[in-house]
Amino acid sequence: MKERSRDKNRLEHMLRRRSKILEERRKHVDPEIRRSVDLSFQIVDRIHDILVSKGMKQKDLALLLGKREAEISKWMRGTHNFTIDTLVSIEDALQAPILNVVHQDLEICV
C-alpha cells in the first residue's frame, strides 16, 4: 500500500513539473496559435463531457459515425483541426451541441 501511495506522489510531482514546463513554453507561442489550440482542446473537452454524460465511450462515437476507433482517438488528443461538417456530424450523432456561436446584430451607420 505504501508503494502505491509513493507511486501516486511521484506521478503527481512529475505532472506538476511537466505542467510548469508546458506553461513556460506556452508563454512563447504565438497568441493566434495558442487561441486555436485552446479552442481545439475546448471542443475535445466538450465532446468528452457529452460522451461521459451519456455513458458512452469513444468506441460508441466511432460506431455512430462509421469511423474507426483509432480515428476518434486521434481526434480526441486535442490537435485535430475539426471541420464544420465533422462537428455537425458529431453533434447529430451525439444529439447534443458542441459549439455555441454568438450572433450579434450590427447597426450599420451610413
The CATH number of the domain holding residue 79 is: 1.10.260.40
Q: Is 47 part of a structural domain of the chain?
A: yes
Of all residues in the chain, what percent carry a pLDDT higher than 90? 47
Which is nearest to 86 in space by CA: 101, 67, 73? 67
Q: Is 5 part of a structural domain of the chain?
A: no
pTM: 0.68
Which pLDDT score is estimated for 83? Answer: 94
Q: Is 19 part of a structural domain of the chain?
A: no
Q: Is 40 part of a structural domain of the chain?
A: yes
Q: Please spell the DSSP secondary structure of 20-50, one letter per residue.
A: HHHHHHHTTS-HHHHHHHHHHHHHHHHHHHH
Which pLDDT score is estimated for 47? Answer: 97
Number of domains in the chain: 1
pLDDT below 70 — which residues of the chain? 1-4, 7-8, 11, 13-15, 18-19, 22, 26, 105-110
Cα(98)–Cα(41) distance, integer angstroms: 12
Q: Checking phi first, is residue 66 left (phi over 0); if not, alpha (psi -120 to 50) or beta? A: left
